[in-house]
Amino acid sequence: TLQDRLASVFKGLRSKGRLTEADIDATMREIRIALLEADVNLGVVKEFVTAVKTRALEAELSKALNPSQQVIKIVNEELVAILGGEARPIRFAKKPPTVIMLAGLQGAGKTTLAGKLARWLKSEKHTPLLVAADLQRPNAVQQLQIVGERAGVHVYAPEPGNGVGDPIEVARGSIAHAEAKLYDVVIVDTAGRLGVDAELMQQAADIKAAVTPHETLFVVDAMIGQDAVNTAKAFDEGVGVDGVVLTKLDGDARGGAALSIARVLGKPIMFASNGEALADFDMFHPDRMASRILGMGDVLTLIEQAEKTFDAEQSRAAAEKLMSRNQFGLQDFLSQMQQLRKMGPMSKILGMLPGAGQFKQAINEIDEREIDRIEAIIFSMTPKERDDVAILNGSRRARIARGAGVEVSDVNKLVNRFVEARKMMESMAGGRFPGMGGMPGM
């Protein structure tokens, strides 16, 4: 899958300290193949690769990130841009009702979406009306009625006198009905075919002309891949589309279609449907879709937060102290911990790491209070004590425990763990920087 390929590209990058132009070229080649295999439109791929490469070569070196993280960051940002940047909400009409028309192929998920939209709008204090303008299939009206019932929303359907059999008349009638009964949003469900054809386009265009929608949404099954681009183009030319809704994102969608449609049409993806239940629905968030496509958990968020909060200078100073024996004290430990905490709750930070799913249980068991306790203990120490734990005799430990509101055994545990950890870090540092081995005491 695209996710797997990209993951392995980034994994290769992560082990590098510096990136050369050749590294970037090789990476971009992999990304290009990965995107093409995922059915992303060729034009979109070319544009994307060029943009990322240009930026990667010019990348300003950020202190907080290593070069491979920077490439990941650029790839992500360009992906978000291609997916439309920011979520685009519905534009409500100044004078109600706001008319939303749904168009797309049969089975795309229009009727289901109509119910989801209605349910969501209702929860936002709107009074939506569903309109059954799909009179193609015998049970289409009934399907919408069931959906409307589940959403708790009224359905306007053809009855004798409403214009039986003519979806255009039904659609037209629904607007007058909404105005009379003060519905403030009208959602028009239309018929689809299995493929694009002239009759379907004509009907959709006629319904559109009858109701002059504020939003015409093209609904597309995210699993249909490259075809989606051509279908979307046909609907945009034949009917005119304001936004796109991707459905069935809960399936094994490759993401390629999503990428291509937004860019090729130049229209925003507005909603994402991800299940059969009416609640399986959300605004489309390009940033979330990008991390889904990149398949990197929320590692991107982590990179961003690291960049924002991590003070590279301070970390370097701490690392240098660590190299010189015994200089790394509890004060340094405390500031490192505090920097990490600025990024969010520890369980959340760890949860964002790729592969964290496997360790969910352990991560959930991390006790924030334990970390609070550690902080409290260190706060109760004098600067001298923080610098040199060796001076912590029994009476000092008792005083610290009282100050921090913990048991002496808690203080002992922290000190022992710190000494252990420092030993381990020192031996790691010694191994990683062979040159240090020659220094006295290393």
What residues form the annotated binding site for GTP?
A: 104-111, 189-193, 247-250
CB of 115 or CB of 268, closer to ligand GDP: 115
Beta carbon nearer to ligand GDP, 184 or 280: 280
Task: Please identify, among the stretches 111-119, 148-156, 382-390, 414-422, the one whose residues bind Mg ion according to the rule CB under 5 A.
Answer: 111-119
CB of 274 to ligand GDP, least distance (A): 5
> Number of residues in contact with Mg ion, rule: CB under 5 A?
2
Q: Pick from ligand GDP, Mg ion, none: which does 228 bind, CB < 5 to 8 A by kind?
A: none
Q: Which stretch binds ligand GDP (CB under 6 A): 69-77, 104-112, 286-294, 405-413?
A: 104-112
Of the candidate spans 53-61, 273-281, 317-325, 343-351, the one that interacts with ligand GDP by CB under 6 A turns out to be: 273-281
> 45 and 52 in contact (C-beta within 8 Å)?
no
Residue 276 interacts with ligand GDP (CB under 6 A): yes or no: yes
Q: Site for ligand GDP (CB under 6 A): which residue of 13, 31, 34, 108?
A: 108
Nearer to ligand GDP (CB atom), residue 116 or residue 154: 116
Contact with ligand GDP (CB under 6 A): which of 84, 109, 268, 286? 109
When asked if residue 295 is in the footprint of ligand GDP (CB under 6 A), the reply is no
> Between 104 and 268, whose beta carbon lies closer to ligand GDP?
104
Kindly state the smallest distance separating residue 109's Cβ from Mg ion, in Å.
8
C-beta of 223: minimal distance to Mg ion in Å? 17
Q: Which one of residues 163, 240, 275, 297 is an interface residue with ligand GDP (CB under 6 A)?
A: 275
**Element spanning 86, H or E:** none
Beta bridge partners of 155: 130
109 binding partner (options ligand GDP, Mg ion, none; Cβ < 5 to 8 Å by kind): ligand GDP
377 near ligand GDP, rule: CB under 6 A: no
Query: Are the C-beta atoms of residues 329 and 336 closer than 8 Å to each other?
Result: no
Q: Does 106 interact with ligand GDP (rule: CB under 6 A)?
A: yes
Query: If binding is defined by CB under 6 A, does position 351 make contact with ligand GDP?
Result: no
Q: CB under 8 Å to 146, separation ≥6 — which residues?
A: none
Among 192, 213, 255, 268, binds ligand GDP (CB under 6 A): 192
Cross-strand bridge partners of residue 186: 99, 129
Give the nearer residue to ligand GDP in terms of CB position, either 106 or 339.
106
167 binds ligand GDP (CB under 6 A): no
- Residue 105 or 330: which CB sits closer to Mg ion? 105
In angstroms, give the least distance from the CB of 110 to ligand GDP: 3
- CB of 217 within 8 A of CB of 91? no
Tokens of 335: 């500031």
| Contacts with ligand GDP, 224-253, as mask; x by CB under 6 A | -----------------------xx-xx--
**Long-range CB contacts (< 8 A, 24+ apart) of 335-342?**
337/371, 337/374, 337/375, 338/375, 339/309, 339/310, 339/311, 339/314, 339/315, 341/371, 342/309
Q: Work out the angle at residue 68's Cα, subtended by the Cα atoms of residues 65 and 71, and round it to the nearest 5 degrees.
A: 95
CB of 29 to Mg ion, least distance (A): 43
Indicate whether 111 belongs to the interface with Mg ion (CB under 5 A).
Answer: yes
Return the number of the residue (104 or 256) whose C-beta is nearest ligand GDP. 104
Distances (CA, A) of 342 to 95, 170, 309: 46, 57, 7
Q: Which residues contact 333 (CB under 8 A, 6 or more apart)?
A: 378, 418
Strand 155-156 to strand 128-133: parallel, antiparallel, or no bridges (unpaired)? parallel
Rounded Cα–Cα distance for residues 139 and 296 (Å): 43
Beta strands, E only, 20-179: 98-103, 128-133, 155-156
Residue 101, strand partner residues? 188, 216
Q: Closer CB to Mg ion, residue 110 or residue 397?
A: 110
Residue 408: other Cβ atoms inside 10 A: 14
| CB-count burial class (<10 Å; 0-12, 13-18, 19+) for 174 | buried
Amino acid at 224: I
Number of residues that bind ligand GDP (CB under 6 A): 18
Least Å from the CB of residue 143 to ligand GDP: 6
**DSSP for 173-194, written as a single string:** HHHHHHHHHT-SEEEEEE---S
Specify the residue, 41 or 112, whose C-beta has the smaller distance to ligand GDP.
Answer: 112
Let me know if 187 is exposed, middle or buried by CB neighbors in 10 A (0-12, 13-18, 19+). Answer: buried
Helix, strand or coil, per DSSP, at residue 387 = helix
Q: Please give the residue ranges that form the binding site for ligand GDP (CB under 6 A).
A: 104, 106-112, 192, 247-248, 250-251, 273-276, 280
Q: Please give the residue ranges that form the binding site for Mg ion (CB under 5 A).
A: 110-111
